[in-house]
């Protein structure tokens, strides 16, 4: 009986020990997903969406053709908010034979742009819907795969914004369908000792005539305008005028630059606010189809207003102006994201470049 009693004690001790070991292993297994193989905690955060819970901050670059292996020009860029720094993996599912992924290390918290490289090759023509995953967040990107590149526009002018007298562009007004926008460079003029090309704009909807002033200095293009024109967050009164460097002829994908930082009294009379613009080259070699025509070597540019109180940190207003400039042609498409949804503004119909 004594031996039997000891065996029961040993068995109880073994069961207790085994249960504790299982609990310890379960604890470590449950924590495993929070750590990288190097032993440090992985990053956490989410894919940034717009105010309408849309994925407008994901951009698609490159041409997607049936059977053509993805190259360096085929990638996605996603805006990510990081609330815990560390290693990361962001990836899409595989659709139609190809996918996207990115990995690395976030050295700090905050908002980052992440480039997801593409691998594989499209198998079939059509629109593919990808889901991108980071931490517990998911966002979608749509990519159109074509059978081939068709109706290609050939241009001999080397500039993405050709400036010469009698150059003329006719656009479909996408804000007021059925109407036209016609822009013509008519002459030049001198403003503050600098020579500008004068562009007359005729809008059939109003009808209205407007004038804009442009110049090119080395590889940079400037528009002389009231600086608060491109944001609804403020309106300086009296107006402040300056050159806005909206395009660089040799821009690189992902390249950014800022305008001058402006401080002025707003139309509310008592409020003083600070303004600047972030310019970003989203894609320096895009292929874009507009009105059934394929434009090669297109620069996709974004202009993002940032506003602050005097002494405060500049913050994006949520507005994004997007413009597409085709080599040898100029502006071919424009759209505006107002913080809630994207509004197409114009698309090119015809042009005369001298």
Provide mean pLDDT across the span 15-30: 44
Residue 229 per-residue DSSP state: G
Calculate what percentage of the chain has a pLDDT beyond 90.
Answer: 65
pLDDT at 18: 46
pLDDT band at 89 (very low <50, low <70, confident <90, very high): very high
pLDDT at 222: 98
pLDDT at 133: 96
How does pLDDT run across 187-205, given as a tens digit for each residue?
999 999 999 999 999 988 7
Calculate what percentage of the chain has a pLDDT beyond 70.
Answer: 88
pLDDT band at 100 (very low <50, low <70, confident <90, very high): very high
- Check if the beta carbon of residue 207 is closer than 8 Å to that of residue 262: no
Domains and CATH numbers, the chain: 44-145 (2.60.40.10), 168-352 (2.40.360)
Per the listing, tokens 């949520």 go with: 318
Q: Which of 49-63, 206-220, 277-291, 336-350 has the lowest mean pLDDT?
A: 49-63
Residue 37 pLDDT greater than 50, yes or no: no
How does pLDDT run across 245-266, given as a tens digit for each residue?
999 999 998 899 999 999 999 9
- Classified as helix, coil or strand, 171 is strand
How does pLDDT run across 144-172, given as a tens digit for each residue?
898 877 788 999 999 999 999 999 999 99
* Angle ∠(201,203,209) on CA atoms, nearest 5: 50
Distance CA 216, CA 201 (A): 19
pLDDT at 40: 63
How does pLDDT run across 116-145, given as a tens digit for each residue?
999 999 999 899 999 999 999 999 999 989
pLDDT at 267: 85
Number of neighbouring beta carbons within 10 Å of residue 207: 9
Residue 270 pLDDT greater than 50, yes or no: yes
- Label residues 37-54 b or e (16+ Cβ within 10 Å = b): eeeeebbbbebbbbeeee
């Amino acid at each position: 009986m004594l031996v039997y009693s000891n065996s029961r004690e040993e068995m109880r001790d073994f069961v207790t020990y085994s249960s504790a070991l299982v609990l310890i292993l379960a604890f470590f297994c449950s924590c495993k997903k929070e750590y990288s193989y190097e032993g440090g905690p992985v990053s956490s955060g989410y894919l940034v969406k717009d105010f309408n819970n849309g994925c407008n901050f994901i951009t698609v670059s490159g041409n997607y053709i049936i059977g053509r292996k993805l190259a360096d020009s085929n990638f996605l860029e996603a805006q990510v908010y990081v609330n815990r720094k560390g290693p990361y993996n962001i990836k899409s599912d595989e659709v139609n034979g190809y996918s996207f992924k990115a990995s690395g290390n976030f050295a700090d918290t905050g908002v980052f742009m992440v480039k997801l490289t593409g691998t594989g090759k499209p198998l079939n023509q059509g629109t593919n819907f990808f889901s991108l995953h980071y931490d517990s967040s998911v966002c979608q990107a749509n990519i159109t795969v074509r059978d081939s590149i068709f109706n290609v526009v050939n241009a001999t002018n080397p500039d993405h914004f050709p400036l010469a007298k009698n150059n003329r562009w006719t656009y479909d007004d996408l804000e007021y369908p059925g109407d036209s926008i016609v822009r013509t460079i008519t002459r030049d003029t001198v403003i503050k000792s600098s020579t500008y090309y004068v562009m007359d704009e005729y809008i059939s909807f109003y009808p209205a005539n407007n004038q804009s002033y442009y110049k090119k200095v080395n590889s940079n293009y400037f528009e002389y305008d009231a600086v608060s024109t491109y944001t609804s967050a403020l309106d300086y009164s009296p107006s402040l005028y300056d050159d806005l460097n909206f395009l660089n002829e040799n821009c690189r994908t992902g390249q950014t630059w800022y305008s001058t930082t402006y401080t002025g009294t707003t139309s509310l009379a008592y409020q003083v606010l600070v303004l600047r613009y972030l310019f970003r080259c989203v894609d320096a070699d895009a292929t874009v189809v507009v009105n059934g025509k394929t434009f090669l070597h297109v620069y996709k540019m974004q202009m993002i207003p940032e506003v602050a109180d005097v002494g405060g940190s500049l913050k994006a207003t949520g507005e994004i102006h997007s413009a597409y400039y085709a080599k040898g042609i100029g502006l071919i498409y424009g759209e505006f994201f107002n913080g809630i949804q994207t509004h197409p503004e114009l698309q090119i119909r015809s042009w005369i470049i001298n």
